[in-house]
């Protein structure tokens, strides 16, 4: 019962104000960077199949710009299911908001930054998936994510991506690190408790033998 009361008090307590600043700053700045970069590159290079005349660098790793529209998910997975991914994006936006500000995950600055990055990437790609970029194909609205960053490693091209993808992957990596660290911290007290219990049993056994 006391644990349940403490849990309710934790959820009901106020969040530090700087968590709101961190989250919304990352979400808004990331969204603006993603949308502006897409607009500039697609205007300059054109679509479809616009490409920069010369790569920025070209050795074992080549980096250049090429315009592409992805009608699937990250790395081109699930082509043709744009609206399903758009719906999942909306679900993710709601889930992130509830987790941070209702269940107070924003008490952790690390989680706040991770989910701010994920929110910016989700919003940037959702903007494209619902066709707000204005691109068309054969006179029909084109529902897909604008990608333009291309890396080639030793002749093998990496799937074209954008800044929203960078933010999503960075946020996901941060969540993975958080999960690993949480598991390690949770296991350490348990190991310590087992060690102390073993020491007590040993002492008790020793006392019983000498008595």
Query: Before 119, cis peptide (omega within 30)?
Result: no
Asked whether residue 4 carries a pLDDT value surpassing 50, the answer given is: no
Q: What pLDDT shows up at residue 26?
A: 98
146 belongs to a structural domain = yes
Which residues are annotated as catalytic?
147, 165
Q: What pLDDT shows up at residue 20?
A: 97
C-beta of residue 39 within 8 angstroms of C-beta of residue 124: no
Q: What pLDDT shows up at residue 97?
A: 97
192 belongs to a structural domain = no
Asked whether residue 182 carries a pLDDT value surpassing 90, the answer given is: no
Q: Is 138 helix (H, G, I), strand (E, B) or coil?
A: coil
Q: Provide the mean pLDDT of the chain.
A: 85
60-83 average pLDDT score: 87
Count of structural domains, the chain: 1
Q: What pLDDT shows up at residue 204?
A: 47
**Side-chain half-sphere CA neighbours of 6 within 13 A:** 3
The pair of three-digit structure tokens given for residue 42, joined into one six-digit string: 């697609």
126 belongs to a structural domain = yes
9 belongs to a structural domain = no
Name the residue with higher pLDDT: 27 or 182.
27
208 belongs to a structural domain = no
Question: Domain containing 94: what range?
Answer: 35-183
Query: By percentage, how much of the chain surpasses pLDDT 90?
Result: 65
Range list of β-strands (E), the chain: 57-58, 61-70, 136-137, 140-141, 145-153, 156-157
pLDDT digits (tens, 9 = 90+) for 139-167: 999 999 999 999 999 889 999 999 999 99
Distances (CA, A) of 149 to 71, 75, 135: 16, 12, 18
175 belongs to a structural domain = yes
Q: What pLDDT shows up at residue 59?
A: 83
């Amino acid at each position: 019962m006391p644990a349940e009361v403490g849990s309710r008090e934790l959820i009901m307590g106020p969040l530090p104000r700087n968590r709101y600043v961190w989250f919304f700053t990352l979400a808004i700045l990331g969204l603006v960077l993603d949308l502006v970069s897409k607009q500039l590159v697609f205007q300059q290079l054109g679509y479809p199949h616009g490409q920069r005349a010369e790569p920025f660098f070209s050795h074992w790793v080549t980096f250049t710009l090429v315009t592409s529209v992805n009608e699937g998910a990250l790395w081109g997975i699930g082509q043709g299911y744009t609206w399903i991914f758009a719906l999942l994006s909306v679900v993710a936006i709601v889930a992130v908001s509830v987790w941070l500000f209702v269940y107070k995950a924003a008490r952790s600055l690390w989680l706040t930054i991770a989910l701010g990055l994920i929110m910016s990437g989700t919003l940037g790609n959702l903007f494209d998936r619902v066709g707000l970029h204005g691109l068309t194909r054969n006179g029909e609205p084109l529902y897909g994510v604008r990608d333009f960053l291309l890396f080639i490693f030793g002749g093998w091209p990496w799937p074209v991506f954008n800044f929203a993808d960078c933010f999503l992957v960075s946020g996901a990596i941060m969540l993975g690190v958080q999960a690993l660290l949480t598991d390690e911290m949770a296991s350490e007290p348990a190991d310590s408790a087992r060690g102390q219990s073993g020491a007590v049993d040993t002492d008790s056994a020793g006392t019983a033998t000498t008595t």
